C-alpha cells in the first residue's frame, strides 16, 4: 500500500509560511525525488494545514494522481477553530470519523483519501464501530484504505481483526527504539504491513542534543557519517531504512535541499556492526 521509502509530512506547513507557488514547487520536487506519499492530519496547524495545502494545489489537479494522500482523525483539542472542546480528548465515534474525513476531503480539495488513519487509540474506542464506519467510507469511494497511528500491537490486532489495516504510524528514531522491543514492528512484519516512522530525527535532537545520551548519539552518528562521506541525519535515516519492517520515513521539513539530502540516505548501506553500534549507544549498553 505505501509507496517508496519516504513520505512528506505537512504538520509544519503553517509555520513554514510558504506561498502557493512554493508549496507547488515543493510537491513537484518531492514527486521528482520519488516522494509521493503526502502525510496530513485534520488537526495539523490547528486545523489550518490541510486548507493551506488544498488552496495551493487547487488549480494543479494533474498532481493528484501522482501522489498518495494520507490523513488522520480522532484527536480533539481546544483552539480558535474548536472552542467547543473544553479538554483534549479522542473521539472515534461514527459521527466524528465521518465529519473529520469530510472536512479533510473538502480542505485538501480532493474526492478521496488514499489512506485514513486513526490518529491515536482511545480507551473508549469501539473496534466494530470504527470498522463499520471505515467500510461505509470505502463503499462511498471517499477513502481507499485505512490504518492507525500510535497503536500498540494489541490495539492494532483488535481493529485489524475487523478491517484490514495498511500501516501503523509510530515514533521511531535513533533515540526512540521502543517499537523494536514491544512487539509493534514484529507484528507488522507478520502481517506484511509497513510502518510509517514519525519524528525520525527525534524532533531535531540529533542536531541539538540536550542530554548525555543525545550527545553520545550525535558523536556516534558523526563517526559513522565520516566513514560514509555522509551527514548525521542521513545516517539516522539509513539506520531506520535498514530495519526489515521496511518503514516509510516521514520527512517533516519543507526545505527542498533537505529533501534531496534525505533521499540520498537510501543509497547508504550500513553494516550490521554499524547498525548495532548506534543501537548500543542509544540503549546505553551493549546488546545482551
Q: What is the pLDDT of residues 111-132, one digit of tens each?
A: 999 999 999 999 999 999 999 9
Q: For 73, left (φ over 0), alpha (ψ -120 to 50), or beta? A: beta
- Report the number of distinct structural domains present in the chain: 1
Q: How far is CA 128 from CA 136, 161, 273, in A?
A: 12, 9, 45
Give the range of the structural domain holding residue 109, as residue numbers without chain letter.
6-166
Mean pLDDT of the 206-226 span: 97
Per-residue pLDDT, 199: 98
Contact 196, 39 (CB under 8 A): yes
For residue 156, tell me if it sits in a domain. yes
Mean pLDDT of the 55-74 span: 96
pLDDT tens by residue, 152-197 = 999 999 999 999 999 999 999 999 999 999 999 999 999 999 999 9
pLDDT tens by residue, 244-276 = 999 999 999 999 999 999 999 999 999 999 999
Per-residue pLDDT, 137: 98
Q: How far apart are CA 31 and CA 110, in angstroms?
A: 18
For residue 122, tell me if it sits in a domain. yes
Percent of the chain with pLDDT over 70: 100
DSSP E strand stretches across the chain? 6-9, 37-39, 68-73, 75-76, 89-90, 113-118, 143-149, 168-171, 196-198, 248-251
For residue 186, tell me if it sits in a domain. no
Q: Running DSSP on this structure, what letter comes out for residue 77?
A: -
37: domain CATH number is 3.20.20.100
Per-residue pLDDT, 1: 79
For residue 152, tell me if it sits in a domain. yes
Q: How far apart are CA 105 and CA 244, in angstroms?
A: 33
- Residue 100, C-alpha cell as written in the block: 473529520
For residue 49, tell me if it sits in a domain. yes
Q: Measured at the alpha carbon of residue 123, what is the angle toward residues 119 and 125, in degrees to the nearest 5? A: 65
Per-residue pLDDT, 194: 98
For residue 246, tell me if it sits in a domain. no
For residue 134, tell me if it sits in a domain. yes
pTM: 0.96
Contact 91, 77 (CB under 8 A): no
Q: Mean pLDDT in the chain?
A: 97
Contact 30, 3 (CB under 8 A): no
Per-residue pLDDT, 38: 98
Catalytic-role residue among 44, 53, 90, 112? 44
Per-residue pLDDT, 254: 93
Contact 193, 166 (CB under 8 A): yes
Per-residue pLDDT, 16: 92
Mean pLDDT of the 71-79 span: 96
For residue 83, tell me if it sits in a domain. yes
Active-site residue 44, yes or no? Answer: yes
Q: What is the DSSP string of 183-237?
A: SHHHHHHHTT---EEESTTGGGTTTS--SHHHHHHHHHHHHHHHHHT--HHHHHH
Per-residue pLDDT, 3: 82
Mean pLDDT of the 137-148 span: 98
Amino acid at each position: 500500500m505505501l509507496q517508496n521509502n519516504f513520505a512528506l509530512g505537512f504538520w509544519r506547513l503553517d509555520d513554514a509560511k510558504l506561498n502557493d507557488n512554493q508549496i507547488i514547487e515543493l510537491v513537484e520536487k518531492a514527486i521528482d525525488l520519488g516522494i509521493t506519499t503526502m502525510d496530513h492530519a485534520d488537526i495539523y496547524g490547528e486545523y489550518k494545514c490541510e486548507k493551506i495545502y488544498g488552496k495551493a494545489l487547487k488549480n494543479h489537479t494533474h498532481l493528484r494522481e501522482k501522489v498518495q494522500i494520507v490523513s488522520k482523525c480522532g484527536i480533539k483539542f481546544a483552539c480558535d477553530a474548536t472552542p467547543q472542546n473544553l479538554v483534549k480528548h479522542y473521539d472515534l465515534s461514527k459521527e466524528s470519523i465521518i465529519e473529520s474525513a469530510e472536512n479533510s476531503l473538502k480542505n485538501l480539495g480532493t474526492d478521496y483519501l488514499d489512506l485514513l488513519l486513526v490518529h491515536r487509540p482511545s480507551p473508549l474506542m469501539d473496534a466494530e464501530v470504527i470498522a463499520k464506519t471505515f467500510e461505509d467510507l470505502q463503499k462511498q469511494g471517499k477513502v481507499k484504505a485505512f490504518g492507525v497511528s500510535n497503536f500498540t500491537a494489541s490495539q492494532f490486532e483488535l481493529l485489524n481483526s475487523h478491517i484490514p489495516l495498511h500501516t501503523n504510524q509510530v515514533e521511531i528514531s535513533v533515540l526512540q527504539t521502543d517499537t523494536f522491543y514491544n512487539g509493534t514492528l514484529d507484528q507488522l512484519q507478520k502481517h506484511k504491513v509497513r510502518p510509517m516512522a514519525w519524528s525520525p530525527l527525534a524532533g531535531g535532537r540529533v542536531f541539538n542534543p540536550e542530554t548525555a545520551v543525545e550527545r553520545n548519539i550525535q558523536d556516534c552518528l558523526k563517526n559513522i557519517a565520516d566513514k560514509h562521506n555522509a551527514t548525521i541525519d542521513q545516517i539516522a535515516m539509513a539506520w531506520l531504512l535498514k530495519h526489515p519492517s521496511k518503514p516509510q520515513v516521514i520527512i517533516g521539513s519543507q526545505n527542498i535541499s533537505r529533501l534531496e539530502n534525505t533521499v540520498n540516505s537510501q543509497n547508504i548501506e550500513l553494516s550490521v556492526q554499524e547498525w548495532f553500534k548506534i543501537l548500543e549507544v542509544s540503549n546505553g549498553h551493549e546488546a545482551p
